[in-house]
Each structure stands twice: as structure tokens, then as C-alpha cells.
């Protein structure tokens, strides 16, 4: 049975940190969300959040590769 994803989830890991050398310090390197995604997360639709999660994974891969 596939579990339905709730719209109340958040990728926040309670480590809010920015790196000046990574994406102009506009992305949290704790959760890899852009500042606009963090600010608007509660208002985003499930579809928007799912797209953000795809973008988050891409940013995380870039950050790890650049380390």
C-alpha cells in the first residue's frame, strides 16, 4: 500500500546555514531550499513542493560535488 504524502511535511532539518560561496548565499545548506521556498513553503501546493524537492536534490548534488 502506497502511503499518501501529506502537504504538511517540510525538508527543514533545523540547521539554518548559508555559504557565501554557494549560490550567492541564497540557499540554506541545511535543507537546500532557496530563501523564497523557505518563506513560502506553507503556502505552496503539494505539486509545487514536489517540484521544489526535485530542485533541492539537484542543489544538494551541486553542493556536494563542489566541496
pTM of the full predicted structure?
0.83
Of 3 and 16, the structure prediction assigns the larger pLDDT to 16
pLDDT of residue 33: 97
* Residue 7 CB partners (closer than 8 Å, separation 6+): 45, 46, 49
Domain boundaries along the sequence of the chain: 23-66
Give tens-digit pLDDT for 35-54.
999 999 999 999 999 999 99
pLDDT band at 58 (very low <50, low <70, confident <90, very high): very high
Q: How many Cβ atoms sit within 10 Å of the Cβ of residue 34?
A: 16
pLDDT of residue 45: 95
Amino acid at each position: 500500500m502506497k502511503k499518501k504524502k501529506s502537504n504538511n511535511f517540510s525538508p527543514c532539518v533545523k540547521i539554518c546555514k548559508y555559504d557565501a560561496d554557494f549560490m550567492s548565499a541564497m540557499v540554506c545548506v541545511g535543507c537546500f531550499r532557496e530563501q523564497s521556498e523557505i518563506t513560502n513553503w506553507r503556502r505552496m501546493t503539494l505539486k509545487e513542493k514536489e517540484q521544489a524537492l526535485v530542485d533541492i536534490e539537484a542543489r544538494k548534488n551541486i553542493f556536494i560535488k563542489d566541496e
